[in-house]
Amino acid sequence: MLAESAPDTPARGIGNGFDLIGDVHGCGDLLETLLEKMGYQRRDGVYTHDARRAIFLGDLIDRGSHIQKALEIVRTMVDAGTALVVMGNHEAHALKHCLGHGGRGFTMPRAGGRSERVMFETLQQFERLPTLWSSYLEWFLEMPLCLEFEHFRVAHACWDEALLRPFLAEHPDGRIDRRFLAAASIQGSPEHRVLDRTTRGTQLRLPRGEVIHSMDGSRRSVFRTHFWARSPQTYGDVVFQPDPLPDEFEDHPLSDAERDRLVHYERSQRPLFVGHYWCEGIPSLPTANVACLDYSAVRGGRLVAYRFDGEAALEAGRFCWVSAVE
Ligand SMILES: [Mn+2]
């Protein structure tokens, strides 16, 4: 357990332990089951634990059928101080869609790409509750992009020290505002780089216009990459996503320019918790100081938590999960 005086110790006597919870994506029922499994009890309408707090890794919304329920559970916990939350790329997308570009507010998107379809389905769940949706948008804007404690860090997809250190110097609470959001809609702006890198991580583009045929039926020309390989040599050393690369690209050498675009989170840094990457199977640790907690709950996988008590080396035995399909 952490020392009483450690800055990680939450205020209000709630306790020392943190339960980090991966992408909920509207799986409100599954979230209740997970919280109850970990000993959280509903008191006055708020899930509370006598000795621990929850930290949600973002992507509460989109895709699942119980988005309102998921949002209500998490917001009541955050308001009561029994949980913290960081912004995911899906909250960032909702903010850009509904508040960015002059604030179009509650508008149904025109038929568009994958993310527009997903957003449309979320807005349909709030079709009769535009005021409630607006209040959640305001709440999304309050979510910090990252959290940093003495013994650990939290971000939805990636901790890029070179981008986050100056950002945190200007935004000590990790939060953005409407001005930042508007600036982040401009590709390549400093604000775009911070928001995009932290909530979506790094990606590389396949050469020669090659595409990956994704499980969800779409075709992608880019692939998601991780940030814990010490000296990656090939695409296969850094790919981190459910869809495998076409065989011929596993051993494709990384160019210097590609390697420069990647991020490296040093093994000596404090533990980092992320979601985002649609992992599958039994939760495991890719490295001793990084845990990904997104195990595709909304695609029939697992909703996963890590029960952290200040350990410097993460332990696979501390994962806790509920399966979407028993
Ligand atoms: Mn996600």
Domain of residue 17, CATH code: 3.60.21.10
**Could you give the CA distance from residue 251 to residue 182 in angstroms, rounded to a whole number?**
40
**Within this chain, do residues 152 and 227 fall inside the same structural domain, yes or no?**
no
pLDDT bin (cut points 50, 70, 90) of residue 117 is confident
**Within this chain, do residues 64 and 90 fall inside the same structural domain, yes or no?**
yes
Ligand 1: distance of its center to the CA of 275 in Å? 7
The predicted structure's pLDDT at residue 11: 41
Ligand 1: distance of its center to the CA of 104 in Å? 24
Does some domain include residue 168? yes
**Within this chain, do residues 256 and 274 fall inside the same structural domain, yes or no?**
no
Of 220, 238, 262, the residue at which a domain comes to its end is: 262
- Per the document, the length of the chain is 326
pLDDT bin (cut points 50, 70, 90) of residue 246 is confident
**Within this chain, do residues 123 and 223 fall inside the same structural domain, yes or no?**
no
**Within this chain, do residues 159 and 290 fall inside the same structural domain, yes or no?**
yes
Cβ atoms of 283 and 295 within 8 Å: the answer is yes
Q: Is it the case that residue 303 has pLDDT exceeding 80? A: yes
Q: The pTM is what?
A: 0.92
State the CB neighbour count (10 A cutoff) for residue 53.
Answer: 21
Ligand 1: distance of its center to the CA of 241 in Å? 12
Q: Is it the case that residue 7 has pLDDT exceeding 80? A: no
Residues with CB under 5 A from ligand 1 (ion): 23, 59
Q: Which domain holds residue 214?
A: 202-262
Does some domain include residue 197? no
Write out pLDDT tens, residues 147-194: 999 999 999 999 999 999 999 999 999 999 999 999 999 999 999 999
Ligand 1: distance of its center to the CA of 25 in Å? 7
**Within this chain, do residues 23 and 75 fall inside the same structural domain, yes or no?**
yes
Give SS3 for 253: strand
Q: Tell me what the mean pLDDT of segment 126-131 comes to.
A: 93
**Within this chain, do residues 60 and 164 fall inside the same structural domain, yes or no?**
yes
Does some domain include residue 5? no
Does some domain include residue 208? yes
Beta strands, E only, the chain: 17-21, 41-43, 46-48, 52-56, 83-85, 146-148, 153-155, 202-205, 212-213, 219-220, 222-225, 272-274, 290-292, 294-295, 302-308, 319-323
Ligand 1: distance of its center to the CA of 173 in Å? 23
Ligand 1: distance of its center to the CA of 218 in Å? 17
Ligand 1: distance of its center to the CA of 13 in Å? 32
**Could you give the CA distance from residue 152 to residue 189 in angstroms, rounded to a whole number?**
28
Ligand 1: distance of its center to the CA of 150 in Å? 26
Does some domain include residue 22? yes
